[in-house]
Amino acid sequence: MKIIIRHEESKDFRKVEEVAREAFYNLYFPGCAEHLVIHNLRDNKDYIKELSYILEVDGEIVGSIFYTHAKIIGWDGVETKVISFGPVSIHPKYHRMGLGRKLITHSIEKAKKLGFNAVLTLGYPYHYEPYGFKGGKKYNVAMADGNFYKGLLVLPLYEKALEGVSGYATFTDVFETPQDEIDRFDSLFPPKKKQIQESQRIFEKACVELDN
Ligand SMILES: CC(C)(COP(=O)(O)OP(=O)(O)OC[C@H]1O[C@@H](n2cnc3c(N)ncnc32)[C@H](O)[C@@H]1OP(=O)(O)O)[C@@H](O)C(=O)NCCC(=O)NCCS
């Protein structure tokens, strides 16, 4: 298996979106928005191109990770710039083979080299704890409602990178995708059936789990 991690080129755009759609479809809600998020992200001011990668297996694109600028807004109004990743995905055919790990560690190492301070992401702790991420409470990073959530994961990239920081996380508005825009974009892809499935219920529950 020949694995290559490289930056995306414009000729890859459609394939990358198709693979993300395969990975996310019906997982968190009926259908998915991630292929549209990726599509919109590339032209967004918050996009960090030099940290975003795709992964190929034997010449075929099977995964991607996208980074954006994010902020921790202090309760005193002082802003700390941080970075965030997501969507990250691997085609379901290739799950649990260490490919996601390769993409995530590769990009984190690059982020360290570029001098970024900390990575924030939203998701299941079990996906990100293997890389040292911890729930935001440990670093005093809440969500805008003031609560600490298990699904807000924080990784300082060097010692004391978040020392003295305390506040709430804000992410790029590129994640806000109206349903009609999703539906229009999704209709440009091969038909897929929207379904309600157990993973969505699990996700809904996970989204409100507090980090106490
Ligand atoms: C998240 C995702 C990218 C992981 O990719 P992957 O290639 O399957 O992950 P890896 O094989 O590299 O796993 C690395 C480690 O992460 C953890 N992990 C990954 N998937 C897991 C799962 N379903 N359950 C529990 N732990 C998991 C494990 O610790 C794993 O190490 P191990 O296999 O030695 O136990 C992939 O599952 C995916 O595309 N999911 C759908 C999209 C998604 O949910 N993305 C994340 C939200 S943006």
Q: Is the predicted pLDDT of residue 80 greater than 90, yes or no?
A: yes
Q: Is residue 193 part of a domain?
A: no
DSSP string, 50-112: GG-EEEEETTEEEEEEEEEEEEEEETTS-EEEEEEEEEEEE-GGGTTSSHHHHHHHHHHHHHH
- Nearest-atom number in ligand 1 for the CA of 97 is 11
Ligand 1 center to residue 12 CA distance, Å? 23
Degrees to nearest 5, angle at CA 203 with 132 and 137: 40
Average pLDDT value for the chain: 97
Closest to 48 measured CA to CA, from 99, 120, 98, 100: 120
Q: Is residue 200 part of a domain?
A: no
Q: Is residue 183 part of a domain?
A: no
Give the model confidence (pLDDT) of 29-49 as tens digits.
Answer: 999 999 999 999 999 999 999
Q: Is residue 186 part of a domain?
A: no
**Percent above pLDDT 90 for the chain:** 100
Q: Is residue 54 part of a domain?
A: yes
- pLDDT of 110: 98
Q: Which residues contact ligand 1 via a Cβ below 6 A?
A: 23-24, 27, 86-90, 95-101, 123, 126-127, 130
Q: Is the predicted pLDDT of residue 147 greater than 90, yes or no?
A: yes
Q: What number is the average pLDDT over the span 78-104?
A: 98
Ligand 1 center to residue 90 CA distance, Å? 8
- pLDDT of 82: 98
Domain CATH number, residue 47: 3.40.630.30
Q: What number is the average pLDDT over the span 125-148?
A: 97
Q: Which amino acid is at 58?
A: D
Nearest CA to ligand 1 atom 48: 87
Q: Is residue 204 part of a domain?
A: no
- pLDDT of 24: 98
- pLDDT of 212: 85
Ligand 1 center to residue 29 CA distance, Å? 18
Ligand 1 center to residue 96 CA distance, Å? 6
Entry field: residues in the chain = 212
Q: Is residue 180 part of a domain?
A: no
Q: Is the predicted pLDDT of residue 163 greater than 90, yes or no?
A: yes
Q: How many domains does the chain have?
A: 1
Residue 101 domain boundaries:
3-175
Q: Is residue 202 part of a domain?
A: no
Pocket test for ligand 1, best of 3, 127, 199 (most atoms within 8 A of CB): 127
- pLDDT of 98: 98
Pocket test for ligand 1, best of 1, 95, 171 (most atoms within 8 A of CB): 95
